[in-house]
Amino acid sequence: MLDNQVKNELIQIIGKDRYLDRPEELACYAYDAFLVESEPEAVIFPETTKEVSDILKTASKFKIPVTGRGAGTSVCGAPVPIKHGIVLCFSKMDKIIEVNTRDRYIIVQPGVVNADVQKALAPFKFFYPPDPASMSTSTIGGNIAQNAGGPRCLKYGVTIDYVLGMEVVLASGDIIRFGSKNVKDVTGYKLSSLFCGSEGTLGIITEAILKVLPMPETVKTLMVTFDDLDNTAKAVTDIIGSGIIPVAMELMDNLTLNAIEDVANLGLDRNAAGSLIIEIDGVKEACEKEMKQIIDKVRKNGAIHVQEATSDLEREKLWTARRSAYGVFAKLAPDIISEDVTVPVSKVPLMIRKIIEITDKYGLKVGVLAHAGDGNMHPMIPADRANKEEWKKVETAFSEIFQAAAELDGTLSGEHGIGLAKSAYLPLVMNKNTIEFMKKIKQAIDPDSILNPGKFV
């Protein structure tokens, strides 16, 4: 519980209805989709930038930790208030301020749900490309803080590629605005790159100008199965290597396909060793030509079954299968740990072999799932945290997977972020000076380290 003086000051700003601190309520803000839990001392729901600024002024004065939260769908513990203090929950600061498809942008408050951005753009036949699996629930503020990706980021890029401008409240309570409504803007430092992916450690996002794109004329989706996982991976590098850039190339192994089929009953091939969902979009004629080339490539790599979705319903079914993967894995054991190591696409087959080799060594089950076209792997290990011996193996296996990715010129995280999950592994991909440099930036903006303390910096 916060000190009464602090509490009173905060209630002065926000009113008592948007201030929670009873134990039953605090317990609900201790977690995200990651494993570690830690309760805040208060939860505050701001609705305006001014409120956020005033809250941070108070927090600064009393040196109270402040951790931002959207919908709490992060899978790395980013919004978990590990040092307690205040959780600033943005779910009620959720207005769409302007939709302007003529100038190709949308301005939103941080609590707007990704899917609601899509809904607002759909009537104009526009869309916002970043599509994390949590898009039905996750908020833009969280998406930006984590620099979220998703399947179609293979072609379209991740969140940072769509942030034109932002309003951010600093730890001091000062409000800064940078970027603009212009697609081209090279005025000053590219500050959006600093805050996007900062995981709430540098400032609190209170507004964002996002770039939006017109919806493609045609979308084509293909489901391909293989009787060999290595061939599945080789097909991916072959297609990307030939210059075709699909929207998405989702790889699922046998365990993943079966886990999904057990729950969702979608008619997936239970015997396939590997499968790819490949989606392309664009002008109809170009799509048809590319589709032929892709089918040719997968056949050359030993595809045993190739099926094109013939209707929106069929297409939706394939994506439902893919999107449910994380959840169905959660069913296999009391806990699930999934990471997002990423390697250059030519190294995907090697990385998959490594993942299997490592998990085999420790006798662990693994589901291999990947946004394979951009080398973004999602090995998922179902296990039981209560089983200390097994859990130790899981931790060791993951540290070896991170090590393996680093050796293949890969990186720790393709889209989830670092949070609590991977901060210990930063030295694998960053030298000491670089980590020091990040610390210096943090020190300069947030000298008392009140913003999401205890995380990677």
Contact between 368 and another protein by CB under 8 A: the answer reads no
Closest CA to 160 of 104, 134, 198: 198
Give the one residue of 4, 22, 363, 433 binding another protein; rule: CB under 8 A: 22
What is the rounded end-to-end Cα distance, in angstroms, of the chain? 26
- Whole-number minimum distance, CB 103 to another protein, in Å? 27
Query: Interacting stretch for another protein, rule CB under 8 A, among 54-62, 68-76, 170-178, 243-251?
Result: 68-76
Give the one residue of 56, 89, 117, 348 binding another protein; rule: CB under 8 A: 89
Of 270 and 299, the one with the shorter C-beta distance to another protein is: 270
Count of helix runs (H) and strand runs (E) in the chain? 16, 18
Of 31 and 124, the one with the shorter C-beta distance to another protein is: 31
CA–CA dist 34, 31 (Å, integer): 7
Contact between 21 and another protein by CB under 8 A: the answer reads no
Interface of this chain with another protein, residues 269 to 328, rule: CB under 8 A: 323-328
Contact between 28 and another protein by CB under 8 A: the answer reads yes
Query: Interacting stretch for another protein, rule CB under 8 A, among 25-33, 201-209, 301-309, 345-353?
Result: 25-33
Contact between 81 and another protein by CB under 8 A: the answer reads no
Contact string (CB under 8 A) for another protein, positions 197-236, x = contact: ----------------------------------------
Q: How many residues bind another protein (CB under 8 A)?
A: 41
Q: In whole angstroms, how far apart are CA 287 and each of 78, 153, 220, 314?
A: 39, 18, 7, 18
Query: Interacting stretch for another protein, rule CB under 8 A, among 21-29, 164-172, 237-245, 419-427?
Result: 21-29
Query: Interacting stretch for another protein, rule CB under 8 A, among 111-119, 285-293, 354-362, 430-438?
Result: 111-119
Closest CA to 117 of 190, 201, 40, 208: 208
Interface of this chain with another protein, residues 321 to 360, rule: CB under 8 A: 323-331, 333-336
Count of C-beta atoms within a 10 Å radius of residue 100: 14
Of 121 and 303, the one with the shorter C-beta distance to another protein is: 121
8-state DSSP, 373: G
Of 303 and 336, the one with the shorter C-beta distance to another protein is: 336
Q: In whole angstroms, how far apart are CA 273 and each of 226, 356, 368, 452?
A: 6, 13, 11, 42
Q: In whole angstroms, how far apart are CA 237 and each of 97, 156, 233, 241, 298?
A: 42, 18, 7, 6, 11
Residues near 352 by beta carbon (within 8 Å), at least 6 away in sequence? 229, 230, 233, 368, 370, 377
Give the one residue of 6, 10, 13, 32 binding another protein; rule: CB under 8 A: 32
Strand partners, 424: none
Look at the chain and count its residues: 457
Contact between 123 and another protein by CB under 8 A: the answer reads no
Of 263 and 441, the one with the shorter C-beta distance to another protein is: 263
- Whole-number minimum distance, CB 326 to another protein, in Å? 6
CA–CA dist 211, 451 (Å, integer): 27
What are the structure tokens assigned to 362, written together?
């420790």
Of 218 and 324, the one with the shorter C-beta distance to another protein is: 324
What are the structure tokens assigned to 66, written together?
């402040």
Give the one residue of 5, 15, 16, 27 binding another protein; rule: CB under 8 A: 27
Residues near 423 by beta carbon (within 8 Å), at least 6 away in sequence? 455, 456
Interacting residue ranges for another protein, rule: CB under 8 A = 20, 22-25, 27-33, 45, 71-73, 89, 91-92, 94, 111, 113, 115, 134, 136-138, 263, 323-331, 333-336
